[in-house]
Amino acid sequence: MKNRLLAVFMITVLSAAMMTGCGKKDAPVEEVPEVVTEASTEEASVEAPAPAPSDAATEEVSDPLITADLDETIGNGILITINNFYKAGETQGEGHILMDKEEPDENGEIKCYVLETFGAYEFQDGNFVRCAGSGVIPAVVTVKANDDGTYEFISIEEAEDGSNFVDSIKENFPEKLWSRCITIEDDDRNELNKQDRAYAEEYLSTIGREDAEIGDYGDFEHTLLTDEGVSVEVSNKMVDVQSGDGFEFFCPMWIGDREVLDENVRYTYKTEYDKKKNEITFSKVLYETGEVLESSTYDAKTGDKVE
């Protein structure tokens, strides 16, 4: 588990500017979606990022993409490279099953055939929610066997999505794995989900919030404004407000709150509805003290801002 945390913290270093949480459109964050369907990716192949240049004046830091354990190298590679797709959450997790691998080629490179998943997590209404990520995706991970006994992550190529899925499986995987890749069994899916959530559990223990319930977005109730009687027209106006450049962008699309870490400072963004006053209020709150840093209020009948 220490190795898992190393990979997670490495991502934080590599992605400090994009760790503001799961958002809603083209911005520092991703939308808060339900889990992406299986085999859904933005690109088919991802090269491992180049290691940061070393500084002789500082203590040498080990590279999580080069380890003495094959599974660890694969897992760290999935975490670091796939996170570049989602840029979401305050921590990330992965799961992978090594189904088979080839012998090293003349360059020492090994093709590893895996089933993998990735998840990004954030706090929503006090729960630790998998707010972005993938389903189960067959992938070919290439690693290099070094002379010193270590393995170096080189790249990951995921099965294509949509109508090309089956063809890409048959093209890139051994025939004996076709069935397992095309029809994901419950045992494989459950094992991957267990591995993925183990990262979230370990992260919660490091920040002292072990009591938070972990789950997917759909596992928890998210009450919308329209559920409370606000008209669709006004609700759409609030979506427009939250699509702008203001702090409201980070407020949840449901009545409740979500937490965002920004440069190691935790903020709570709230969307509230006062039925008696017929008012919708968005606010940005400093988590540690409860101080309201910004807020805006809108008429729940007209959608106009209340001055």
State the pLDDT at residue 22: 54
Are the C-beta atoms of 139 and 74 separated by less than 8 Å?
no
Residue with the two structure tokens 């990330």: 92
The pTM (predicted TM-score) of the whole model is 0.79
Which residues are within 8 A (CB) of 253 and not within 5 positions of it... i.e. 6 or more apart? 24, 32, 222, 224, 239, 242, 271
Which of 58-72, 73-87, 176-190 is predicted least confidently? 58-72
- pLDDT, one tens digit per residue, over 66-103 is 999 999 999 999 999 887 777 789 999 999 999 999 99
State the pLDDT at residue 88: 85
Element (H, E) at 95: strand 91-101
Average pLDDT for residues 38-65, to the nearest whole number?
50
Are the C-beta atoms of 91 and 121 separated by less than 8 Å?
yes
Average pLDDT for residues 118-146, to the nearest whole number?
96
More confident site: 21 or 215? 215
- pLDDT, one tens digit per residue, over 230-249 is 999 999 999 999 999 999 99
- Domain locations in the chain? 2-218, 222-299
Which residues are within 8 A (CB) of 56 and not within 5 positions of it... i.e. 6 or more apart? none
Band of residue 2 on the pLDDT scale cut at 50, 70, 90: very low
Q: Residue 211: is its pLDDT beyond 80?
A: yes
Band of residue 35 on the pLDDT scale cut at 50, 70, 90: very low
Q: Is 54 exposed, middle or buried (0-12, 13-18, 19+ CB in 10 A)?
A: exposed
Strand, coil or helix: 5: helix
State the pLDDT at residue 83: 79
Q: Residue 166: is its pLDDT beyond 60?
A: yes
Which of 28-37, 193-202, 203-212, 249-258 is predicted least confidently? 28-37
> What is the dihedral sign for C-alpha 192, 85, 163, 98?
negative
Which of 22-31, 54-63, 214-223, 284-293 is predicted least confidently? 22-31
* Separation CA 89–CA 79 (nearest Å): 13
Which CATH code is given to the segment(s) 222-299? Answer: 3.10.450
- pLDDT, one tens digit per residue, over 278-293 is 999 999 999 999 999 9
* Separation CA 267–CA 236 (nearest Å): 25
State the pLDDT at residue 26: 41
Q: Residue 146: is its pLDDT beyond 90?
A: yes
The 3-class SS string of 52-70 reads CCCCCCCCCCCCCCEECCH
Q: Residue 229: is its pLDDT beyond 60?
A: yes
Q: How many CB atoms lie within 10 A of CB 146?
A: 12
Average pLDDT for residues 125-143, to the nearest whole number?
96
